[in-house]
Structure formats: structure tokens, C-alpha cells
């Protein structure tokens, strides 16, 4: 009897502690932000959805961003998909290809006052296949150069924003500036790849802006682009900056821009929220131009509805609500919009509490011109196949051309 009692007690205890399963009328939305301000805004949008759907409770569930796609995979494969999820651009094709995403086109287009054509066409490219719409971008965020104004002043250099205004913000100028900054600030660096990544993770994000500025791409239409002359020239320059000039934070080092250890970094507009606590003067400027002209690169995230979800029609309606004109304008304070009407609006340009209007104009223009990171349904395999070759690239004595040819040899069969 005692055993039975113990076991009942144990299972009862265990049961009480486990969170209760979601109720039938709940809509589960998986997101990767845990930021209070973001969640407050999202809950506000959910609240306004109640005006027309009084019984629906929308719950936002935070999944850590660093392992987000993997965790979403576990949820979907585990038979426990959310109704709606934020989805990163690189993950979308795999999920779409597996037939997991609902065509929400008919629902959103039918929503009152939605104006589907207001979305900028390049921004929709990733989320449409013919007439099928399997996602709506809620964040279309261009990569910008963040710079530490204090370090520029200390080195007596003109800042990127001023150079860009004069049309002199080129990759060569970028290299020269970064080198001078590193020399003027011993123990610190001129430039850090986004969030200190770029070598073991986000390998392509580190290379893409330069490659595009040279007029190339990492791959297009199933053709690897790393071994093309434009890409080789672009990567050679970055390689020189890391190992010859020692102006870019090298692999395995921490040169955190936000702690003042690097003078520049490339990142998205949402990171501006980290700046007030950084304790130095700063600004944002466009990415440097190259022989191929401008190369705005955007990172996207979309809202998708899962086919397996219990309330997919309702979920699609919520996506329509969340991405209508009013709510896109609301979200624009954190997530750059893909709606032209919002992008052009004074409210967007002037509305950012942290970034002055003059700099926001560059953001707006980068969104309109921007191109997303090339996507592929086998993105995880491609990145894994690429990883060892990219590791070989980031060594002081590496032959850049050979290393990039190796990259192409490794990924071409997968493309």
C-alpha cells in the first residue's frame, strides 16, 4: 500500500507541476522575443483582436532565439505545433517544402481593408510561391553599420554617416577606416561581425553584404556564387582586414561592440534598443558600397500558420489582423515594416525614439531596395556542409580562392 501511496503522491505532484495543456479556444503563437516591451505590444494586438473574436485568447510563447528553429522543429515533429509562429527567413523554405504551412492568401486578401498589394514586392518574394501565400513578413530589417562615435572622434576620423552623405562610404574606405580605428584604440577592434558571430555561426551573414557590394551573391538559382571573381575579391578584402590589418575581430575573440570593444558592427535596427545602456555616443549608417554599387541586405521574419493546427482559419485571421495597416504601424517601433504606406509615413521616420529621422531615412530606403538572404529548403545541410570549408577559410595563411572553391564543391550538390 505504501508503494501505491508513494507513487500516487509522486505522480500527483508531478502532474500538478506540469503546465496544463492549452485549452481548445486558445491560439498559440510561438515567438522568440522575451522582451517585456515587445510582449506588451503583442498582447495589445491580441487584445484588439478580441473586438471581433471575443472568445479567443491569444497566447505568445517565448522560445529562445538562439535555438529557435530547432525548437520549432521539435514542436512540429512532436505533434505539438503552435497555431502561428514567427519564422526566420532561412527556415521558411524547409517548412514550406514539407507541406506544413497553410496558404493564408485567401484569408488575408479577403480581410477588410487589408490591401495586400501594399506590401513591398521584394519583401514578399520569400513568402509567396505563385499564388500561394504561406507567410506574411512582420519584420523586414535591413543590415546597417552601427558605429561608436566616441571612438571615431578619438581617432579623428569622419564617421560613416557623414561619409555616406558625401557618397564616399565605400568598402575601401571602410577597410581604411577600420584599420585606423584599430590602430588608434589598442586592444580594441575596428569592426565586429553581427553579434560577434560570423565564423562558426551566421557564416553567410558575415560575407553576404561585401559579396553583394562587389556585385556577386552567395548563390542564385541553384548556382554557387562563392567561387565567382566578385565573391573572391570581396572575401579577400575581409580576410585581409581580419588577419593583415587586424581590424576585424578574429575567430575565437570577443570584441563586443555593445561593450565598446569594437568601433563598428553590422546589425539590424532592432539592436538600437541595446544602445542606451552602452554608454557611448553612436549612430547608424548604410552598409558601405562596392564596385557593384549599393547592396542593402535585409533580414526577414514572417508569420506563418501551421496546417496541423487545430484552428487554422482562426489563426489565419489573426495573422491578417496582426499585419493590417494599423498594427504594422504599431509594430514598426520595433520591427521594420514591409508595407509601403508605413515605410513612407512620417510616423515611421520620426517615430523611433532612439534613432534620429535623418538616420531612419537610410533605414527606410534600405528596406525598399533591400534583398533578402538567399533561401533554400536544405539550408541547415548547406550550412553544415559549408562549415568545415569556412573554418578553413578563416585562418591567417588560408588561400581565399581555394577555400571558396572548396565551399562551392561542398554545397553545389545540395543546391
Binding site residues, another protein, CB under 8 A: 2-3, 6-7, 10, 13-14, 17-19, 32-35, 38, 61-67, 70-80, 94-95, 97-100, 195-196, 199-200, 250-254, 256, 258-261, 270-271, 274, 380-381, 384, 387-389, 391-392, 394
3-state secondary structure of 160: helix
Question: Nearest approach, Cβ of 63 to another protein (angstroms)?
Answer: 6
Question: Nearest approach, Cβ of 113 to another protein (angstroms)?
Answer: 31
* CB-nearer residue toward another protein: 262 or 359: 262
Question: Nearest approach, Cβ of 103 to another protein (angstroms)?
Answer: 16
Question: Nearest approach, Cβ of 279 to another protein (angstroms)?
Answer: 10
Question: Nearest approach, Cβ of 329 to another protein (angstroms)?
Answer: 22
Task: Phi first, then psi: give them for residue 262, nearest 5 degrees.
Answer: -135, 145
Long-range CB contacts (< 8 A, 24+ apart) of 43-49? 44/330, 45/321, 45/322, 45/327, 45/330, 45/331, 46/318, 48/321, 48/327, 49/318, 49/321, 49/322
* CB-nearer residue toward another protein: 67 or 326: 67
Asked if residue 283 lies in contact with residue 149, where contact means CB atoms within 8 angstroms, the answer is yes
Within 10 angstroms of residue 362's Cβ, the number of other Cβ atoms is 21
* CB-nearer residue toward another protein: 2 or 221: 2
* CB-nearer residue toward another protein: 294 or 377: 377
* CB-nearer residue toward another protein: 81 or 290: 81
Closest by CA to 61, choosing from 89, 33, 40, is 33
Asked if residue 120 lies in contact with residue 343, where contact means CB atoms within 8 angstroms, the answer is yes
Task: Phi first, then psi: give them for residue 50, nearest 5 degrees.
Answer: -65, -20
* CB-nearer residue toward another protein: 100 or 320: 100
Question: Nearest approach, Cβ of 207 to another protein (angstroms)?
Answer: 17
* CB-nearer residue toward another protein: 262 or 295: 262
- Rounded CA-CA distance 63/212 in Å is 32
- Rounded CA-CA distance 31/8 in Å is 36
Query: What is the chain's length?
Result: 415
Question: Nearest approach, Cβ of 35 to another protein (angstroms)?
Answer: 4
3-state secondary structure of 340: helix
Amino acid at each position: 500500500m505504501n508503494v501505491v501511496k508513494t507513487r500516487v503522491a509522486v505522480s500527483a505532484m508531478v502532474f500538478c507541476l506540469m503546465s496544463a495543456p492549452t485549452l481548445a479556444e486558445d491560439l498559440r503563437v510561438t515567438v522568440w522575443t522575451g522582451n517585456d516591451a515587445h510582449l506588451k505590444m503583442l498582447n495589445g494586438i491580441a487584445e484588439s483582436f478580441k473586438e471581433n473574436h471575443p472568445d479567443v485568447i491569444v497566447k505568445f510563447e517565448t522560445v529562445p532565439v538562439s535555438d529557435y528553429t530547432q525548437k520549432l522543429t521539435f514542436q512540429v515533429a512532436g505533434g505539438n505545433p503552435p497555431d502561428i509562429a514567427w519564422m526566420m527567413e532561412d527556415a521558411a523554405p524547409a517548412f514550406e517544402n514539407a507541406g506544413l504551412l497553410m496558404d493564408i492568401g485567401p484569408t488575408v486578401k479577403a480581410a477588410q481593408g487589408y490591401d495586400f498589394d501594399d506590401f513591398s514586392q521584394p519583401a514578399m518574394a520569400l513568402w509567396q510561391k505563385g499564388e500561394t501565400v504561406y507567410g506574411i513578413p512582420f519584420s523586414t530589417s535591413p543590415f546597417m553599420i552601427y558605429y561608436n562615435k566616441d571612438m571615431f572622434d578619438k581617432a579623428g576620423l569622419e564617421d560613416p554617416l557623414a561619409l555616406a552623405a558625401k557618397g564616399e562610404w565605400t568598402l575601401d574606405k571602410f577597410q581604411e577606416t577600420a584599420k585606423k580605428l584599430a590602430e588608434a584604440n589598442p586592444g580594441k577592434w575596428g569592426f565586429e561581425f553581427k553579434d560577434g558571430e560570423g565564423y562558426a555561426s551566421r557564416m553567410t551573414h558575415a560575407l553576404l553584404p561585401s559579396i553583394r557590394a562587389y556585385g556577386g551573391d552567395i548563390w542564385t538559382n541553384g548556382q554557387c556564387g562563392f567561387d565567382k571573381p566578385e565573391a573572391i575579391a570581396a572575401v579577400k578584402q575581409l580576410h585581409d582586414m581580419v588577419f593583415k590589418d587586424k581590424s576585424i575581430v578574429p575567430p575565437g575573440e570577443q570584441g563586443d561592440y555593445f561593450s565598446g570593444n569594437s568601433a563598428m558592427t553590422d546589425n539590424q535596427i532592432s539592436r538600437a534598443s541595446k544602445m542606451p545602456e552602452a554608454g557611448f555616443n553612436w549612430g547608424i549608417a548604410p552598409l558601405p558600397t562596392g564596385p557593384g554599387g549599393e547592396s542593402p541586405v535585409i533580414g526577414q521574419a514572417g508569420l506563418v500558420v501551421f496546417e496541423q493546427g487545430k484552428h487554422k482559419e482562426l489563426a489565419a485571421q489573426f495573422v491578417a489582423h496582426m499585419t493590417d495597416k494599423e498594427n504594422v504601424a504599431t509594430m514598426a517601433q520595433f520591427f521594420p515594416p514591409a508595407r509601403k504606406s508605413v515605410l513612407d509615413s512620417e510616423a515611421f521616420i520620426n517615430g523611433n525614439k532612439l534613432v534620429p529621422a535623418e538616420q531612419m531615412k537610410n533605414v527606410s530606403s534600405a528596406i525598399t531596395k533591400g534583398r533578402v538572404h538567399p533561401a533554400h529548403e536544405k539550408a541547415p545541410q548547406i550550412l553544415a556542409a559549408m562549415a568545415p570549408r569556412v573554418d578553413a577559410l578563416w585562418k591567417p595563411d588560408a588561400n581565399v580562392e581555394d577555400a571558396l572553391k572548396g565551399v562551392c564543391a561542398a554545397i553545389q550538390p545540395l543546391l
